Each structure stands twice: as structure tokens, then as C-alpha cells.
């Protein structure tokens, strides 16, 4: 019997590659997207094993609506897996990134994942009853292990996500819900293209531009790889299956 998995941030990058990969490997994928058109494109590519669901992880009503819709879809089978993948990167020196952008960074990369996890835990527990185990996969980053200049907000959010995940792993162990963290390195995806655009749009007359210019323009582009080439395919399945 096919098991159900919810993947947030499935429109592009790692989320999209993961949704397509799992849909071809025995999972019924519920691909979280913010725009219905992105979900329809995924459905056309993946076929009947993937269904999109509109989900903005920073919007409480959207999270609640998605949980209710998923309950209708999966019934007593529950969710076998939750992949908290959605994320953004606010790019710039700690000195110059506005506090509002710091808050948005954490709202999406940390608080949004907590909100989704809280909402989906009843469905994950149903998945344990139906199949014996369930799994939560948190998409972190190597930036969650090593702080890096100009990526301070992003690194801080990933460090926080890892702390939350460590606590959650201990709390849910007795419920047979496995919690895993994935820490990819540099991957060519939309999140970094957008970060580069933010850096390039910085006011050249800003004193901070000259001070940090060399570091800001130094993302190692030559080391990027396409997400579909670098995504840890076997790792997703291993973690979702509790290996």
C-alpha cells in the first residue's frame, strides 16, 4: 500500500526534485506549493501519484486548511512522512540586514516549519497506527553547522532549526516518529539565485557596499550543482522509511 508524504516548498529546487523522485518510488506525494499553477505543473509531470496542495507555511489559516484537506485525502492511513523543505535566504552583512528581514527569515525557515509540524502530528500519529512508523525530515543545510559571512540570517535560522529538530527527535521517539535532518552543501536552486539578485541590487552608494563588496560577490557559483543531480535521493527514502 502506498504511503502518504507531505513536502513543503515543492515548486522549485530540492523540494520539486524530491516530490518527483518520491512519486516515482512508491509514495503518494502531497506537494505543498504557494501558487496553484506550480502545483498543476508538478501534477502534469508526475502523474497520479502526486497531488498538489496550496500551503503557505507562514499563514496560520493556510496551514490549518491544508491539514484539514490532508485529513480528507489520507483518511485513517495518515501521513507516513513530512518533509519540511520550504525556505528562503536573506543575504547580506549582519550589520546591514534590516530587522524585519531577520524576522521574515525566522518566520519562514523556523516558525513556519514548527507550525506545519504541529498541525501534521495528528496525521503522522495516524500513520504510525496504520503502518508502524512515520518520519519527519527537516531540510537544514551545511549552514546549520558552520556560520558563514554574508549568510548570517540564513545560518542562524538553520542553527535554530537543528536545535528544534534535536528536541523534537527526543520528544517523538516514544511515538515511533523518526526525526532526521539533512544538511546539503551548495546546490544550484532558486533560493541562491534570489540571494544573488538581492546582493546585486544593493545601493552602490551605501558605505557598507564597499566594506563588504568582495565577500558579498564571492558565493562559490562554480561549485553549485543542479538540485536534481545533487539531491540525496537514497537518503530521502532511507529517512522516510526510518533507516
Residues taking part in catalysis: 154
C-alpha grid cell for residue 103? 524576522
Comparing C-alpha atoms, which of 122, 97, 140 is closest to residue 239?
140
Q: Three-state DSSP class for 136?
A: strand
Strand ordering across the sheet containing 134-139: 50-54, 27-33, 3-7, 81-84, 134-139, 177-182
Which SS3 state, helix, strand or coil, does residue 85 take?
A: coil
- 202 DSSP 8-state letter: S
Spatial distance between the Cα atoms of 179 and 170, rounded to a whole number of angstroms: 9
Distance (Å) of CA 53 to CA 25, 153, 156, 161, 227: 20, 29, 29, 24, 22
3-state secondary structure at position 88: coil
Question: Which residue's C-alpha cell is 496551514?
Answer: 63
Amino acid at each position: 500500500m502506498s504511503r502518504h508524504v507531505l513536502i513543503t516548498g515543492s515548486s522549485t529546487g530540492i523540494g520539486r526534485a524530491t516530490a518527483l523522485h518520491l512519486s516515482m518510488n512508491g509514495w503518494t506525494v502531497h506537494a505543498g506549493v504557494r501558487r496553484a499553477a506550480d502545483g498543476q505543473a508538478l501534477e502534469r509531470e508526475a502523474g497520479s501519484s502526486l497531488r498538489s496542495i496550496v500551503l503557505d507555511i507562514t499563514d496560520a489559516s493556510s496551514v490549518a486548511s491544508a491539514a484539514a484537506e490532508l485529513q480528507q485525502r489520507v483518511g485513517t492511513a495518515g501521513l507516513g512522512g513530512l518533509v519540511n523543505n520550504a525556505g528562503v535566504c536573506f543575504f547580506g552583512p549582519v550589520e546591514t540586514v534590516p530587522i524585519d528581514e531577520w524576522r521574515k527569515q525566522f518566520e519562514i525557515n523556523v516558525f513556519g516549519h514548527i507550525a506545519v509540524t504541529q498541525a501534521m502530528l495528528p496525521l503522522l500519529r495516524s500513520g504510525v497506527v496504520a503502518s508502524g512508523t512515520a518520519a519527519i525530515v527537516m531540510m537544514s543545510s551545511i549552514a546549520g553547522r558552520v556560520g558563514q559571512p554574508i549568510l548570517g540570517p540564513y545560518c542562524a535560522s538553520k542553527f535554530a532549526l537543528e536545535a528544534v529538530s534535536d528536541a523534537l527527535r527526543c520528544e517523538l521517539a516514544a511515538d515511533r516518529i523518526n526525526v532526521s535532518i539533512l544538511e546539503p552543501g551548495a546546490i544550484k536552486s532558486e533560493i541562491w539565485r534570489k540571494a544573488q539578485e538581492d546582493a546585486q541590487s544593493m545601493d552602490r552608494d551605501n558605505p557598507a557596499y564597499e566594506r563588504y563588496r568582495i565577500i558579498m560577490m564571492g558565493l562559490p557559483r562554480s561549485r553549485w550543482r543542479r538540485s536534481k543531480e545533487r539531491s540525496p535521493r537514497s537518503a530521502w527514502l532511507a529517512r522516510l522509511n526510518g533507516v
